[in-house]
Structure 1
């Protein structure tokens, strides 16, 4: 029993998705598993889906890392550009966000820029800014890049 408790505290913890900001990748009510040791063991990479405390209200939030420190981010007519290149994002519904823009921003070293896959409904780094890597609590397993 102590081993299971230790695994949950330090390694993997279940979480329930409570918003639609990551649809269609993660639906509200879905159970996900958070690999809590990932930031320290394997690092965080663009495309990873991560968990952190919201800088706005301290709630637990799940978003996708779209850019790392020393990269630039902007949204032109709904399309994300990282360092001037549009990454492949088949999960984004561009028709629902057509015409949206976000001016060019530099991600400071040691920080990440996160966005929800449901760009129309997501409150993310476009609203609250970049996040320190140290604030990431884990990687959502199985959410894929």
Structure 2
């Protein structure tokens, strides 16, 4: 093939690549991002290695939502250095973000809620009412310690589904934010597990509250 004949094909390939990059940027900025779950803290809902799709088009958070949020309170160790190429690929949304700058937990307390656990009880209470949590790991209790907190305005109280393997709001009381996370740090709710294929499923907060129990 001559150089003149090859130029239109190369131009077409370049346009396709540009279109893919633009689409990735639009999706990342406006619609959805993907993240890799790094640990067992959300089992059985999410396992280590699962890839999840997080919606960016909602401005509300409901009790029971599994959310991804930015670690602005220092819950995680400092991430390892990454190459400029890998940073660019993740920025464009062409590779899922890892769990070294974000966390995935379930929303248990909304602004104004009182969340508590009484010794000997097999459940948590929200505003004095036992909370149904069908998503909990079968081998883990609802909580491993007694506590009572009132969620401040603009904040959330978040826990893992595997309570004995999750380092969450309970463990960061007394630290930055006193265990609460800011609504401003929320990337969005996890809508689905998208990889591996045999783990594909929608993710919701069934059994955790009503449609009116939400924060905006």
> Do both share a fold (TM > 0.5)?
yes
- Using structure 1 for the length normalisation, give the TM-score: 0.88
Give the deviation of 1:4 after TM superposition. Answer: 3.3
Tell me if 1:134 matches 2:178: no
User: Conserved in 2, the CA contact under 8 Å of 1:79 and 1:94?
Assistant: no
| Residue of structure 2 in register with 1:35 after alignment | 55
- Residue 10 and residue 102 in structure 1: after superposition, are their counterparts in 2 closer, same or farther (change >3 A)? farther
Q: Which residue of 2 aligns with 1:89?
A: 133
* Distance 1:97-1:17 versus aligned 2 partners, 3 A rule: same
Partner residue in 1 for 2:169 = 125
Pair 1:102–1:37, CA change in 2 (3 A): farther
Sort the Cα spacing of 1:20 and 1:99 in 2 relative to 1 into closer, same or farther, 3 A: closer
C-alpha contact (below 8 Å) 1:26/1:143 kept by paired residues? no
Q: What are the superposed Cα offsets for residues 37-67 of structure 1, whole Å, 9 maximum, x if unpaired?
A: 32x2xx0010011011232237310000011
Task: Give the unaligned 5+ runs of structure 1.
Answer: none
Alignment length (residue pairs): 142
Q: Does structure 1 conserve the Cα–Cα contact (< 8 Å) formed by 2:136 and 2:142?
A: no
- Are 1:68 and 2:88 an aligned pair? no
Structure 1 segments of 4+ aligned residues over 6 angstroms from their partners: none
Partner SS for 1:118: coil
User: Which of the pair has more CA radius of gyration?
Assistant: 2
Asked if the contact 1:73–1:83 (Cα under 8 Å) also holds between the matched residues in 2, the reply is yes
Tell me if the contact between 1:50 and 1:64 (Cα under 8 Å) persists in the aligned partners.
Answer: yes
The TM-score, its normalising length taken from structure 2, stands at 0.61
More helix by share: 2
Q: 1:98 to 1:111 in 2, by over 3 A?
A: closer
Deviation at 1:94? Answer: 6.1
